Amino acid sequence: MSATAKQYIERMKRLETDRANFDEQYQDATDYASPNNSQIVDERSSGEVLMDLFDTTAEESNIQLASGLYSFMFPTETRAFVLEVEDEELMKQDTVKQWLDATTKMIHKRLIGSTFREAFFEFLKSLGVFGTGCLYEEKGKKVPIVFINYFMRDIYIVRNSDGDVDTVFRRFKFSARQAVQEFGLENLGEKIATAYNSVSDKDKKFEFLHIVEPREDRDSDADDPKNMSWLSIYISRDESEFVDGAESGYEEFPYQVSVFDKDSLEDYGRSPTMKKLPDIRMANELKRIRVKAWDKMVDPTMLVKDDGSVWPLTTKPGGVVFYRDEKPEYWEFKGNLGEINNAIQETQKEIMKGYFVDMFDPLIDKQNMTATEVQARVEQKLRFLTPIIGRLQSGLFNPMIQRVIGILSRQGKLPEMPPELS
């Protein structure tokens, strides 16, 4: 590895600058569709709310979209995938078919028994908000395999000449104590060591980078982590130096990055939330206006003569108002709540259409339909999602399954491969 830690940090700065416009959109998207994670550009402390949210249609619709895609792509009652080989002659051999069938069953069992389902659902929600998701697979410390969906705020990607993501920069923070637990005190710089040895600074946070990219200079015959196909390094960004002993490698690319929709000139994806932001903002504003209207109806302004009452006026329940000549009157509310409600409903429908909610719920506005008609309508509507599902299958599932097979086979967790496939 010829590059220095400072060169990698400079490269990271360029990636952050290049994505600045997307980060602004990410902030807007999370404000409305994932408010609990709404800290892309605007940092906040734990429990702090950054904006007044009146309408939750975007958040609820995104969850419905993720649930629908999850049910379609990873059904619980059937297999989500079936392993095959390209060679048709091999596929005819009984030993090969038996191994593929047994391995398919074993992988399904491992996926269900791992953190995959939780991470995959979070991944799908990330697609709905950011348009891009990042799923990571690794051998667990206590279990054969773990899956992690990383927050897109901290993931930066680079595509190769074929347009595939082959480099990931992930930033994260560890306290001094966590860094020592993960990397060892002897492998960290002076700043972190000093903080760790101080009782008051043990929990001080430091920023790190995890970088995975193709290893350009390696001995393919060597069987050690520093000669694997994919380079893995950790950098202490606050100290601008590598974490000693943290250079390693992967035999398969561990970060699976996929997009919901993408422009040919962009590296990152576009999401339903990003595309529907005008309607989402409109629904939020309409509901805010309706709350103001409710306030005026429930607690209207009072009209009194400037010399006809005894101040202060008491408007609380059970209060007594003293007056001399004419009693005070309420200012009658003249707003049209019915029109506001109609506008809210129409805007919410447009938002839900943007998240394909009607495609995953065929019973919406459909009465007296038979089960056959419902199924036919589902199949017809899902054709509109074919490009999206196809992109997920090729960009996520195919490389993920290859990675899972590699992780499990190296632990002896899969059936022995027949000689025909060796």
Tens-digit pLDDT profile for residues 371-412: 676 666 666 666 777 888 888 888 899 999 999 999 999 999
Give residue 133's pLDDT.
96
Mean pLDDT value across residues 137-162: 94
Phi-psi map region of 44: left, alpha, beta (phi>0 left; psi -120 to 50 alpha) = beta
Considering only residues 331 and 179, tell me which one the structure prediction assigns the higher pLDDT: 179
Is 70 exceeded by the pLDDT of residue 319?
Answer: no
- Whether residue 269 lies inside any domain: the answer is yes
**Residue 340 located in a structural domain:** yes
Same domain, 251 and 284: no
Same domain, 291 and 337: yes
Judgement on whether residues 259 and 300 belong to the same structural domain of the protein: no
Q: For residue 75, is pLDDT > 60?
A: yes
Q: What is the pLDDT of residues 5-26, one digit of tens each?
A: 999 999 999 999 999 999 999 9
- Decide: residue 391, CB within 10 A, 0-12 exposed, 13-18 middle, 19+ buried: middle
Residue 231: is its pLDDT beyond 80? yes
71 CB contacts (<8 Å, ≥6 apart)? 360
Q: How high is the pLDDT of residue 81?
A: 85
> Confidence band (pLDDT; 50, 70, 90) for 198?
very high
Q: Are residues 135 and 90 located together in one domain of the fold?
A: yes
Domain presence at residue 115 = yes
Among 339, 354, 369, residue at a domain's last position: 354
Give the number of domains in the chain: 2
Query: Do 249 and 117 fall into the same domain?
Result: yes
pLDDT of residue 43: 72
Q: Residue 327 has what pLDDT?
A: 73
Q: Are residues 321 and 393 in the same domain?
A: no
Are 45 and 91 part of one and the same domain? Answer: yes
Residues 202 and 337 both lie in one domain: no
Strand ranges in 139-260 using DSSP code E only, listed in sequence order: 146-149, 155-159, 165-175, 205-214, 230-236, 241-242, 248-250, 255-259
User: What is the C-alpha to C-alpha distance for residues 363 and 128, in angstroms, rounded to an integer?
Assistant: 22
Q: Quick one: pLDDT band at residue 301, thresholds 50, 70, 90?
A: confident
Inside any domain, residue 249? yes
The pLDDT of residue 331: 76
- For residues 399 and 256, give the distance between their C-alpha atoms in angstroms, rounded to a whole number: 7
CA-CA distance, 332 to 351, in Å (whole number)? 34
Query: Model confidence at 173, in pLDDT bands (50, 70, 90)?
Result: very high
Model-level pTM? 0.88
Mean pLDDT, residues 231-257 = 94
Residues 6+ apart with CB under 8 A from 187: 243, 244, 245, 246
In a shared domain, residues 267 and 338: no
Q: CB 253: neighbour CB atoms within 10 A?
A: 22
pLDDT band at 86 (very low <50, low <70, confident <90, very high): confident
What whole-number percentage of the chain has pLDDT above 90? 59
Q: Which domain holds residue 328?
A: 277-354
Of 335, 354, 373, which one is at a domain's C-terminal end?
354
Residue 367 lies in a domain: no
Residues 222 and 288 in one domain: no
pLDDT of the residue at 278: 96
DSSP codes, 361-417:
-TTTT--S--HHHHHHHHHHHHGGGHHHHHHHIIIIIHHHHHHHHHHHHHTT-SPPP
Mean predicted confidence (pLDDT) in 231-237: 96
Instruction: Convert the pLDDT of each residue in 347-381 to its tens digit.
Output: 999 999 999 888 776 555 555 667 676 666 666 66
* Judgement on whether residues 320 and 182 belong to the same structural domain of the protein: no
Whether residues 172 and 298 fall in one domain: no
Residue 362 maps to a domain: no
